[in-house]
Amino acid sequence: MKKNEFLWGGSIAAHQCEGAWNKDGKGVAIMDLVTQGSYETPRKICQTIESDNYYPSHDGIDFYHRYKEDIALFAEMGFKALRISIDWSRIYPNGDEEEANQLGIQFYQNVVDELLKNKIIPIVTLYHFEMPIHLVREYGSWTSRKVVDFYLKYCETMFEALKGKVHYWVTFNEMNHIDPQTEASDIFTYIIAGLKYTEMENKKQTLATISYNMTLASVKAVKIARRIDPVNQVGCVFGLTPAYPLNCDPQNVMNSLKETDRECYQIDAMCMGKFPEYKLKEYSAQGIELEISKADQQAFEEGKIDFIGLNYYSSSVAHYEGDDNNEETLFGGVQNPYLEQSKWGWAIDPIGLRYMLNYIYRRYGLPIIITENGLGAVDQLEVNGSIQDDYRIEYVQKHIEQMEKAIVEDYVDCFGYLMWGPIDLVSATTGEMKKRYGFIYVDKNDDQTGTLERKKKKSFEWYQEIITQNPTFS
């Protein structure tokens, strides 16, 4: 990377794009059991693959076989970086094997080689909602310390396999939605940990244990990454949503502080060198117990992250007295009447990105990379085959403007912008293809028709121009 070069690019995740769900020794992962849903109909989480259901991760957009073509398109746009994720179940199909699956490793080595050949820096997420289902069924997922050890073994395998080629690592994507203090939906807890909220026996205790073990796994992975290659930079990605106060009523301001803050305790743990005291006191006041050994404490001290990845899509209004009839947002809080929403009810708030960048930077002082940001929208194929996605251009442009203000006017150290889903892929929350994010269109529909052909949308050239015009912000 050239000095001060800004990491323009995009982010994708294995289970949403690869397909080939049972090829080359891959095991069954948690998302392979989740059906297609829609905005109105939640995705169904199944015990087995049912023949009358469709499971979008099984085919994805066939990145597994088309990655060269897709990477060539990213390179044509001028990408400096691409964030991919590794599907754990390709490497250790059940999660607890002695030996890794060489074909799985080979696939990621090939993808990384292809990126480097195209002068694109790989940023690799080790866990983006991809866990072998066997670890859930046999060990209870992240409630078990054994799973922490399996994860670390898997991380070590990948640090070794991609040594010298990958220097930016992300331990987890969005573990922050696991919070014992709030009611959760089945799909959120399942996506992150393979467990349904409604089926958890002691919900608060279970969520606290899962969250603690994942946080511990992250700090331990950081240490291993550094031991294997001291040049490794390791971060963790959080999906954060500012929850604004309804007005200046001090109670509403306090609610806003608490709701925005509530998903930061794991970041505190990863940056401050210990699991935060305030969280432990909160737990013990509620009868939640965590076993924290001396070795754990040391792991927190030694495994501080190097950077923070920020996924930002939307903002909300913190709950307030009398808000019972207001529409709840997916991320907590209620809808903001000042903001327009996407077709999936996600409020569009570019200033919220500047707000969140400031909030995180001032709290932690660590470099930040925007690891996801984008608009899920229905695209229309014109008669001439073009896709005029001006709404996407407008969304990304306005967010980039706010990011620039954060960098130039507020002096936030933000070293990259990775747009989510630079190529259309399966939506995580709904499983649809119709909810498209890409600068590149993929001919695949929710009724499973389509040729999988890739097409450039209008936004493709627009983003290419943005990258060319803005090599740095300093």
- Return all residues near 26 (Cβ < 8 A) that are at least 6 apart: 20, 87, 89, 90, 93, 101, 104
Closer to ligand BG6 at the Cβ: 275 or 312?
312
**What is the distance between the alpha carbons of residues 27 and 33, in angstroms, rounded to a whole number?**
12
DSSP codes, 32-77: GGB----SSSPPPB-SS--TTS--GGGTTT-HHHHHHHHHHHHHHH
Q: Nearest-CA neighbor of 323 among 207, 237, 244?
A: 244
Tokens of 418: 């990775």
Phi, psi of 156 (to 5 degrees): -60, -45
Residue 280 is classified by DSSP as H
The separation between the first and the last C-alpha atoms of the chain, rounded to the nearest angstrom, is 15
Tokens of 301: 């001290």
Phi, psi of 260 (to 5 degrees): -70, -35
Tokens of 433: 């293809």
Closer to ligand BG6 at the Cβ: 114 or 424?
424
At closest approach, how far in Å is the CB of 16 from ligand BG6? 6
DSSP codes, 235-277: EEEEE---EE-SSS-HHHHHHHHHHHHTT-HHHHHHHHSS--H
**What is the distance between the alpha carbons of residues 240 and 254, in angstroms, rounded to a whole number?**
18
- Return all residues near 363 (Cβ < 8 A) that are at least 6 apart: 264, 267
Q: Which residues bind ligand BG6 (CB under 6 A)?
A: 13, 16, 173-174, 239, 311, 372, 376, 420, 427-430, 435
Closer to ligand BG6 at the Cβ: 64 or 420?
420
Closer to ligand BG6 at the Cβ: 232 or 427?
427
DSSP codes, 198-244: GG-SSHHHHHHHHHHHHHHHHHHHHHHHHHH-TT-EEEEEEE---EE
> How distant is the alpha carbon of residue 162 from its chain centre?
21
Closer to ligand BG6 at the Cβ: 133 or 237?
237
Q: Which of 114, 174, 372, 432 is catalytic?
A: 372
Closer to ligand BG6 at the Cβ: 402 or 429?
429
In the block, tokens 């301001």 appear at 253
At closest approach, how far in Å is the CB of 430 from ligand BG6? 6
At closest approach, how far in Å is the CB of 372 from ligand BG6? 5
DSSP codes, 376-422: -B-----TTS----HHHHHHHHHHHHHHHHHHHTS---EEEEEEE-S
Q: Is 372 a catalytic residue?
A: yes
Contact (CB, 8 A) for 391 and 377: yes
Q: Which residues are part of the catalytic machinery?
A: 372
